[in-house]
Amino acid sequence: MTFATLGLIEPLLRALETLGYQTPTPVQTQAIPAVLAGRDLMAAAQTGTGKTAGFAVPLLQLLAMEGPKVTSNSVRALILVPTRELAEQVHESVRQYAEHLPLSTYAVYGGVSINPQMMKLRKGVDLLVATPGRLLDLFRQNALKFNQLQTLVLDEADRMLDLGFSEELANIYKALPKKRQTLLFSATFSDAIRELAGQMLNDPLSIEVSPRNVAANTVKQWVVTVDKKRKAELFIHLLRKNRWKQVLVFAKTRNGVDQLVEKLQGLSVNADGIHGDKPQATRQRALDRFKASEVQILVATDVAARGLDIEDLPLVVNFDLPIVAEDYIHRIGRTGRAGATGEAISLVCADEVNQLSAIEMLTRQTLTRHMEQDFEPEHRVPDTDASGQVVKKPKKPKKPKVSGGGKRNLGKWVESGDASAPEPSIKPVRKVPVFNTGPRKRKP
């Protein structure tokens, strides 16, 4: 199978050859003919399998061969994405695919001035990549019209719902022409997204080139259990021990990103961070430096979980597990892309056992656990498995009532299942002080 056999025109074939695309991936093989045929489409595939080319390449061909010339403030095709980084990434790919076509493309997103974007749209744009919030801002200021829209693409629609864009999507949906082609592409599809697709798509063709919600098999995954307070110390230890050269690290919060970056920089480690509070120009500069290997460690929130295509990234570290299990798949999908191998390590504390269980159930695999010497956790992380069950520790017998006021030797608690251990005795109960935070009562 070649791209030519899929029915693509010569200018697109030339662009793909320049980019080194030789053989279509499974999702491209199925999606490209369907898009060219004008079908509504719902496609699920693992990250790094070429979803962007699967919808962008045939869409560009349709724009080049069909429809009138774009008019002022209008767009003919719209690609919606959840984050600024993904907007930049998708638009860069689109720009490269359209190198030899007489089409205009552009990307709009928040965090930067809206005025240059309004100026650019005055001439009209054939294909626009946008985040939902900025798209609505432009529409409400009459800088954008949808009367010429032929195709809508939702890329990572599940993430848009996770980020709270459901109201924006509903408002955009109302403003679009009813007669259009609609494409949904993502690595994961929740039941909520499938319900949304049923409302937005017309007799869609469903494509699933891999099992739902399965991480790429090119990524080796494992877990290191550790106490929460020692995560930073453990990460620095592993960084030095394994001599890591380039690492993308995911933290749960913006403060967590800043704290880890500050700690690493204090140890003369070349590190930078990106999160939603940073200006877009700062985020893009940090990402560009990381891609160019000018930054060794890039720490990020989930704004970097999708759409970042970093060539030959060897390692992803989950400093914190994501709250939404599907984001784990997208995080580790930054490595092991396009057939390359990669590694994903998660530092997991006892507080994260429910997130770990949800990830294992979603990915249908129990992640291998390791304990690093001198970092064994004091707070045990309960066992989990792919069934979604958390294996709780055996209950300890209650302390029997002791008559008399004499001292009693209670011995040591022994974990059940140790055949060589003596019969378990009873662990003494530690008294916890109780603080009365209410108003003090006066004595009568």
Instruction: Determine the pLDDT at residue 22.
Output: 85
Instruction: Determine the pLDDT at residue 24.
Output: 92
Q: Each residue of 246-260: pLDDT tens digit?
A: 999 999 999 999 999
More confidently predicted of 199 and 270? 270
H or E stretch including 151? strand 151-155
User: How does residue 415 score in pLDDT terms, banded at 50, 70 and 90?
Assistant: very low
Over residues 315-343, mean pLDDT: 83
Q: What is the distance between the alpha carbons of residues 332 and 317, in angstroms, rounded to a whole number?
A: 8
- 339 touches 270 (CB < 8 A): no
Over residues 423-431, mean pLDDT: 44
- The yes-or-no verdict on residue 410 having pLDDT over 50 is no
**CB neighbours of residue 392 within 10 Å:** 9
Q: What is the distance between the alpha carbons of residues 354 and 321, in angstroms, rounded to a whole number?
A: 10
Over residues 398-420, mean pLDDT: 44
Instruction: Determine the pLDDT at residue 89.
Output: 87
Instruction: Determine the pLDDT at residue 123.
Output: 94
Instruction: Determine the pLDDT at residue 392.
Output: 58
More confidently predicted of 82 and 96? 96
DSSP string, 297-335: EEEE-GGGSSS---TT--EEEESS--SSHHHHHHHHTTS
- The yes-or-no verdict on residue 417 having pLDDT over 60 is no
More confidently predicted of 417 and 344? 344
The answer to which of 71-75, 168-172, 234-238, 392-396 has the lowest mean pLDDT is: 392-396
- 101 touches 151 (CB < 8 A): no
- The yes-or-no verdict on residue 436 having pLDDT over 50 is no
- The yes-or-no verdict on residue 435 having pLDDT over 60 is no
Instruction: Determine the pLDDT at residue 196.
Output: 73
Q: What percent of the chain has pLDDT over 70?
A: 81
- The yes-or-no verdict on residue 207 having pLDDT over 70 is yes
Instruction: Determine the pLDDT at residue 388.
Output: 65
Instruction: Determine the pLDDT at residue 58.
Output: 97
- The yes-or-no verdict on residue 217 having pLDDT over 80 is no
Instruction: Determine the pLDDT at residue 187.
Output: 65
Residues in the chain: 444
The answer to which of 33-42, 117-126, 339-348 has the lowest mean pLDDT is: 339-348
Over residues 116-142, mean pLDDT: 96
* C-alpha distance from residue 391 to each of 192, 431, 440 (Å): 29, 27, 44
User: How does residue 321 score in pLDDT terms, banded at 50, 70 and 90?
Assistant: very high
User: How does residue 312 score in pLDDT terms, banded at 50, 70 and 90?
Assistant: confident
Beta bridge partners of 347: 224
H or E stretch including 438? none
Instruction: Determine the pLDDT at residue 412.
Output: 41
Over residues 323-343, mean pLDDT: 78
User: How does residue 222 score in pLDDT terms, banded at 50, 70 and 90?
Assistant: very high
User: How does residue 407 score in pLDDT terms, banded at 50, 70 and 90?
Assistant: very low
Give the chain's domains with CATH numbers: 4-208 (3.40.50.300), 219-391 (3.40.50.300)
Six-digit token string for 333: 């999908």
Beta-strand relationship, 383-384 and 390-391: antiparallel
- The dihedral of CA 306, 310, 315, 319: what is its sign? negative
Q: What is the mean pLDDT of the chain?
A: 83
